[in-house]
Amino acid sequence: NVTIFVKSQQIKLQIDNLIYKEAYKMVYSQAKVIAGGLAHIPIVIAVFYFIMTFFNKRAIEYANAKKPKKVENKEIKAKSGSEIKTETKVEDEKPSSVSAETKTEVPIKLENTTIDKKIIKKKNADVPVNIYRPKTPYAGTVKENYSLLKEGAIGRVNHITFDLKESDPFLNYVEGQSIGIMPAGEDANGKPHKLRLYSIASTRHGDDFEGNTVSLCVRQLQYEKDGETINGVCSTYLCDIKPGDKVKITGPVGKEMLLPDDEDANIVMLATGTGIAPMRAYLRRMFEATEKGKNKWNFKGKAWLFMGAPKSANLLYEEDLQRYLTDYPDNFKYTKAISREQQNTKGGRMYIQDRVLESANELFNMIEDEKTHIYLCGLKGMEPGIDEAMTKAAEEKGLNWSDLRPQLKKAGRWHVETY
């Protein structure tokens, strides 16, 4: 019996061994199959990657071949006191698809906007920014500070010029940028005042065309609170400073309000109050004789300024603007909205958006031209009014402003700086 038992145990062990061996073999062969399958995944990914790269490359080549303009921009930065030269070559091809055939669809269609944006970004790469920062501002010397207002005007608006000659590195800038001003003194918590931004009102060559000053157009902020008149910290400081004073300057900053290089561009400007500052720089670049001699930018397009001011006595740089009208009647148009002297059709104050509506047809004829840029600067509060007017004006032309505005923005033709 013992022998039989031992034998049967041996047989059982042998059978168990056999079973284990078979199971092991099966698991091993399954694992081999799975590993083999997994090994194919990188190969499949690589094949897809090559296919996609190939088609992307082809798509970019195709889009580049269709883009409307080829812009080469080379900016030579200024050394102290020297000139900034902008060499620009614009090769124009026919506009891609600007048509106004039907009234039911949106007739203006701007193609290649991504490409246009890339071109704009590349073109603006040379624009100087943040040469001076709040921790290490430049102490500019006040050259002049005078009122821009006439007898009977409301408030206080000054033209202020700073000498930048001594700045090292040189604080150069281009039209449409802003600088920061750090007012002297401390805030209620004993900390230095924070900087405030101001649009630059001069061209890069400065008001005296020597290329080493910057000018601002500043309205003193004043409002009533609990029966008391509150004066804005920085705007009051700026309106009060005297020639010879030193002022902490930062910047320049901003690429939103830059002018196009195209000499045939049309420039529509919508300004309220000190929003005229960048527009003054543009108009000097276009129409001021000595400036033109320096910048070699032979503007041939149409510039149209819509200007909002409370009273005639508050109109800023009026003599210069009238001179440009006389000298360049075919290139400059100037439309005023004097809110407290003129009335809109509803009997309310005349604002620039009312003027936009009056000129809807002519304005939108210009906007349909892909060379037209629109610049909006001044009171933040005017934005909804301008949008409403543009919506109505667009409707009169069978256009949809909420579709069109983002297209203009993408194409780098809609520029807004409000505060």
- Using CB under 6 A, list all residues that contact ligand A2P: 219, 272-273, 308-310, 314, 339-340, 349, 351-353, 379, 381-382, 385
Q: Does 195 bind ligand FAD (CB under 6 A)?
A: no
Query: For residues 219 and 77, what is the distance between their CA atoms, to the nearest angstrom?
Result: 31
Per-residue binding string, ligand FAD, 235-254, x by CB under 6 A, is: xx------------------
Question: Where does this chain touch ligand FAD (CB under 6 A) — which range of 114-122, 216-224, 350-358, 382-390?
Answer: 216-224
Which residues pair with residue 133 across a beta bridge? none
Residue 419 annotated among the catalytic residues of the structure: yes
Q: Does 376 bind ligand FAD (CB under 6 A)?
A: no
CB-CB contact of 337 with 308 (8 Å): yes
Minimal distance in Å, beta carbon 201 to ligand FAD?
7
Question: Where does this chain touch ligand FAD (CB under 6 A) — which range of 35-43, 96-104, 142-150, 228-236?
Answer: 228-236
CB nearer to ligand FAD: give 235 or 266: 235
Decide which of ligand A2P, ligand FAD, none touches 89; Cβ closer than 5 to 8 Å per partner kind: none
CB nearer to ligand A2P: give 196 or 294: 196
CB nearer to ligand FAD: give 212 or 235: 235
Query: For residues 388 and 344, what is the distance between their CA atoms, to the nearest angstrom?
Result: 15
Query: For residues 106 and 196, what is the distance between their CA atoms, to the nearest angstrom?
Result: 41
Residues 6+ apart with CB under 8 A from 135: none
Q: Does 164 bind ligand FAD (CB under 6 A)?
A: no
CB nearer to ligand A2P: give 156 or 415: 156
Half-sphere exposure of 406 (CA within 13 A, CB side): 5
H or E stretch at 72: strand 69-76
Residue 132 annotated among the catalytic residues of the structure: no
Residue 317 annotated among the catalytic residues of the structure: no
In the sheet with 157-163, reading across from the earlier edge strand, the strands are: 196-199, 178-182, 246-253, 138-147, 157-163, 213-219
Query: Site for ligand FAD (CB under 6 A): which residue of 131, 160, 217, 363?
Result: 217
Binding residue count for ligand FAD, defined by CB under 6 A: 20
Q: Does 197 bind ligand FAD (CB under 6 A)?
A: yes
Decide which of ligand A2P, ligand FAD, none touches 165; Cβ closer than 5 to 8 Å per partner kind: none
Nearest Cα to Cα of residue 271 among 49, 419, 79 = 419
Decide which of ligand A2P, ligand FAD, none touches 171; Cβ closer than 5 to 8 Å per partner kind: none
Residues 6+ apart with CB under 8 A from 407: 108, 109, 110, 113
Decide which of ligand A2P, ligand FAD, none touches 146; Cβ closer than 5 to 8 Å per partner kind: none
Residue 377 annotated among the catalytic residues of the structure: yes
Q: Does 177 bind ligand FAD (CB under 6 A)?
A: no
Taking CB positions, which residue lies at the least distance from ligand A2P?
Answer: 273
Q: Which residue type occupies 102?
A: T
How far is Cα of residue 293 from the mean position of the Cα atoms in its chain? Answer: 27
Decide which of ligand A2P, ligand FAD, none touches 199; Cβ closer than 5 to 8 Å per partner kind: ligand FAD
CB nearer to ligand A2P: give 110 or 350: 350
Residue 29 annotated among the catalytic residues of the structure: no
Phi first, then psi: give them for residue 229, nearest 5 degrees.
-85, 125
CB nearer to ligand A2P: give 336 or 413: 336
CB nearer to ligand FAD: give 145 or 178: 178
- Cβ atoms within 10 Å, residue 142: 17
Residue 58 backbone zone (phi > 0: left; psi -120 to 50: alpha; other: beta): alpha
List helix spans (H) across 136-295.
233-240, 276-287, 289-295
Query: For residues 207 and 191, what is the distance between their CA atoms, to the nearest angstrom?
Result: 34
Query: For residues 278 and 196, what is the distance between their CA atoms, to the nearest angstrom?
Result: 16
Decide which of ligand FAD, ligand A2P, none touches 269; Cβ closer than 5 to 8 Å per partner kind: none
Query: For residues 394 and 360, what is the distance between their CA atoms, to the nearest angstrom?
Result: 7
Query: Site for ligand FAD (CB under 6 A): which residue of 155, 232, 385, 398?
Result: 232
CB nearer to ligand A2P: give 174 or 321: 321
Residues 6+ apart with CB under 8 A from 268: 304, 306, 363, 366, 367, 372, 373, 374, 375
Query: Site for ligand FAD (CB under 6 A): which residue of 106, 233, 379, 416?
Result: 233
Minimal distance in Å, beta carbon 316 to ligand A2P?
8
Largest CA distance in the chain: 134
Residues that bind ligand FAD (CB under 6 A): 178, 196-199, 217-219, 221, 223, 225, 232-236, 274, 277, 417, 419
- Residues with catalytic function: 198-199, 377, 417, 419
